[in-house]
Structure 1
């Protein structure tokens, strides 16, 4: 059974763009307190803003910094309540159901973008959820994965959400592809490179840390796409 727990009754209506971070939960650190508008837990019934792992907070901090504080964030928590096995890195979730539920919840909230910094292998249910989100005009940004292969595992999802879905690979600070990043193998889906090596961020306890992996490249792309979409809509409305 999936539980919805602890969103502050509803996400406040705002003129600011709204991004859903589907991850391990987010801590309400000083850096995020003004932009984190709520949290849903799709894989348990756990206290608000008390994640077991740092991952979601690190991702949210990077996104917030790249967006210069100009977007609101809703946390949609999907990490397994049982925790990660010793050979897996968080956030881990063996079932597709919480991830599908998270994407659909983000759609129902009317978000502008969904950030999926998860280890995703192509799954028909998740692929369909990405397609549904894209059909609603929502940007879907996915980490390309950290296996160092020449083929990402989630290309079906990228194709299903084209042109609003994108895979993100990781580079170092100089722009060189990181050896651990899964690389693109075709041109019928979107793939971009963003910095994902030693990216400065903040842990769930508020400590300064560094993240390496495509998980930490993805929120940079999410922020850039959301801001670009916002500027485009403002220009069409004649406000710029």
Structure 2
């Protein structure tokens, strides 16, 4: 339960909560009138992503880094799953200014938008670890934007047969060839990766849905895989003690190197799995 302690993770998405298993320190929204609240309205996506990172209900479900501090940047308005590049860029810039150590981007745009690329490059130069969904366009589709920006950590979706009931939508994501373990597969919707990117669970993922009664639900997508890695980055910062050092580009590079050190191939080709799946592991590096 101490994983992620002292680390701030920015979730740039549809808003987060309310949910009793989520503690959100604050955030911002980017409505037309700039006065919106950062909590979710009707869209569950951002709350589901946030729970994967830092749900903290020990009696039911916990995220990868349950002690991480969450900040929500709601770039979608109401029930509209449409946003623009300027809202995304503004959210990234605000996350940097608000002290986020990690930013999760479970989103992708159809084309490269320079305003978003510039915001990401500034964030990375400031020492922020930027994690993004690889895209849900299929096995032959190139890595989506903004996951394709240099030094962004892109994450594809791993599935494992037997971890969800037969007859559910998750079954349709199975696609050969299997990995070294015949139960593992790269989801049929998951875009291609670069050699240094990662796979993470993205099929049949249980997490939080917005509501004061604390509902839970299942989603599939590289959007669900990315926050696993965002949470693991928070864990590395805590376990190594690097969270107590200055947020710099060098520190972010150390975290990425440690994540890659902990990764193992699952027997897929590099364009399917990148460097592989990250194990939670234990810290071997020492804080500077």
- Normalising by structure 2, report the TM-score: 0.67
Deviation for aligned residue 1:231: 2.3
Local SS of the residue matching 1:158: coil
Inter-partner Cα distance in structure 2 for 1:113 and 1:55: 18
Q: Which residue of 2 aligns with 1:178?
A: 187
Q: Does residue 117 of the first structure (1) align with residue 118 of the second (2)?
A: no
Where do residues 79-118 of structure 1 align in structure 2 (5 Å cutoff)?
79-81=76-78, 83-84=79-80, 90=81, 92-93=82-83, 95-118=84-107
Gap runs ≥5 in structure 2: 55-61, 161-182, 245-284
Instruction: Decide whether the 8 Å contact of 1:113 with 1:141 is kept in 2.
Output: yes
Q: Alpha carbon RMSD of aligned pairs, Å?
A: 2.1
Instruction: Decide whether the 8 Å contact of 2:132 with 2:146 is kept in 1.
Output: no
Count of aligned residue pairs for this structure pair: 207
Where do residues 162-177 of structure 1 align in structure 2 (5 Å cutoff)?
162=151, 165-173=152-160, 174-177=183-186
Deviation for aligned residue 1:55: 0.5
Deviation for aligned residue 1:151: 0.7
Which entry has the higher C-alpha Rg, 1 or 2? 2
Local SS of the residue matching 2:149: helix
Q: Which residue of 1 aligns with 2:226?
A: 218
Q: Which residue of 2 aligns with 1:193?
A: 199
Query: Structure 1 47/76 Cα, relative in aligned 2: closer, same or farther at 3 Å?
Result: closer
Q: Which residue of 2 aligns with 1:202?
A: 208
2:133 to 143, 157, 165: 143
Gap runs ≥5 in structure 1: 1-14, 85-89
Where do residues 25-40 of structure 1 align in structure 2 (5 Å cutoff)?
25-32=15-22, 35-40=23-28
Q: Which residue of 2 aligns with 1:53?
A: 43
Q: Which moved more, 1:42-51 or 1:200-209?
A: 42-51
Instruction: Decide whether the 8 Å contact of 1:63 with 1:219 is kept in 2.
Output: yes
Inter-partner Cα distance in structure 2 for 1:196 and 1:28: 23
